Amino acid sequence: MNKFLIIFVICIVNLITMLKKIFRRKVKDEIKVTIGARHNNKPLFKSSFIQKWYAKDFSLERWIEELRMLQNVGIEEIILQSIVDTKNKEAVYNTMLEGFVSSENDMIKSALDAAEYIGIKVRVGLGESEDWWEKGWYDFKWLSEEADINKKIVNEIFEKYGDHKAFGGWYIPYEFSEFFITTKSQQMNLNLFYKSITEEIKSKSKNFSIMIAPFFSSNRFKIGSVGLWKKIIQNVLVDTSIDIVSLQDSIGVGYNTFENVSALFYYTKQATDALGITLYADIETFDSTEKGNIPVDLKKILKQMSEVYCYVDGFVAFSINHFQNKNEENQIGNYNNYLEYYNKIKIEELFEKITQNI
């Protein structure tokens, strides 16, 4: 009996392996159809995230230094990941929200003023709470209250900075994954949560795009689950007025691998295309280790970008500011490697332009 059981298990494992190979082959075949349409999408970063713990005390001069560093490698937009800790009621700007504490330095104003001086844009993130990871997937009352707080933040930010020349758009920091939304009820609750915030944003101005950055973990991968992710994306984001999905590749943190990340972006693109949403790749420029997150070398970053570039309209780094930063002594080499690569691409583009005009 044990012998037959072992044979049965082996057959099941072989079947699953075969199905995965067929699935990957199907995706790779369809890549050939889309790759031509993405010919002009060079694997270069256009945006980079920065977190408030790192930048909240930057002076104007320090912001100028930081943003000039980004501009020198083609970064056109800095994303302030979040500006308010809604749980601890702490803001990194001069807030008038009842019960909230302001930081001594107005991080938003400093970033905007520096960006205007340099000539790049700032995408402003909203509030976030560590309770999101505990309550965001089941507690609709908490979601409603959190949406209300963020609508107040939207109004305050728009009133203070909405006319600033460097103000470039909005970022909603509440990141969802497949774990959050396994049921239709969860998907509907999250849809209403995002709608509540985005309707407030668009009521102020339709000129600024809204970005979110969900993620998917293949550690919970099941046959067909990536295909189900396509339906989840559509159910959660339908009619939300979200303009950009910057999907985390999650390779640095170890949730995905080079073997499955292409399929993830393949199905996500099907969903975003159906919704009329632009798809970006949020590339993790670090590796998670027992000692914390550490920078990865350029070769790995470029491989991450090459796996998904045929599906996306842009690349966002997480993060040049935190892992390839010229202003941090132990990261100068990482920055210089990317700078050399960026300059090489720009020279190639210039050469192509010249030869086309001959």
Question: For 36-76, how does the pLDDT look when each residue is reduced to its tens digit (9 = 90+)?
Answer: 344 456 799 999 999 999 999 999 999 999 999 999 999 99
- Per-residue confidence (pLDDT) for residue 40, from 0 to 100: 54
Nearest to 211 by CA among 38, 40, 48, 75: 48
Q: What percent of the chain has a predicted confidence (pLDDT) above 90?
A: 80
Nearest to 314 by CA among 122, 33, 44: 44
Q: Which residues are within 8 A (CB) of 329 and not within 5 positions of it... i.e. 6 or more apart? A: none
User: Which two tokens mark 73?
Assistant: 């490698």
Question: For 154-188, how does the pLDDT look when each residue is reduced to its tens digit (9 = 90+)?
Answer: 999 999 999 999 999 999 999 999 887 888 999 99
Positive/negative CA dihedral, 170, 173, 175, 180:
negative
3 state SS for 104-125: CCCHHHHHHHHHHHHCCEEEEE
Residue 9 has pLDDT above 90, yes or no: no
d(CA 193, CA 325): 35
Are the beta carbons of 210 and 241 closer than 8 angstroms? yes
Q: CATH: 3.40.640.10, 2.30.33.40, 3.20.20.80, 3.90.1150.10. Which one for 40-356?
A: 3.20.20.80
User: Which two tokens mark 133?
Assistant: 């990871």
d(CA 16, CA 14): 5
**Helix/strand/coil for 281:** strand
Residue 248 has pLDDT above 80, yes or no: yes
| pTM score | 0.88
User: Which two tokens mark 268?
Assistant: 């996500």
Nearest to 278 by CA among 231, 211, 227, 216: 211
Positive/negative CA dihedral, 92, 97, 101, 105:
positive
Structural domain boundaries of the chain?
40-356
d(CA 322, CA 54): 8
d(CA 146, CA 86): 8
Question: For 190-209, how does the pLDDT look when each residue is reduced to its tens digit (9 = 90+)?
Answer: 999 999 999 999 999 999 99
Are the beta carbons of 261 and 285 closer than 8 angstroms? no
Residue 284 has pLDDT above 50, yes or no: yes
- Per-residue confidence (pLDDT) for residue 222, from 0 to 100: 53
Place of tokens 């920078």: 295
Kindly state the average pLDDT of the residues 11-40: 46
Virtual CA dihedral for 296, 298, 299, 302, nearest 10 degrees? 110
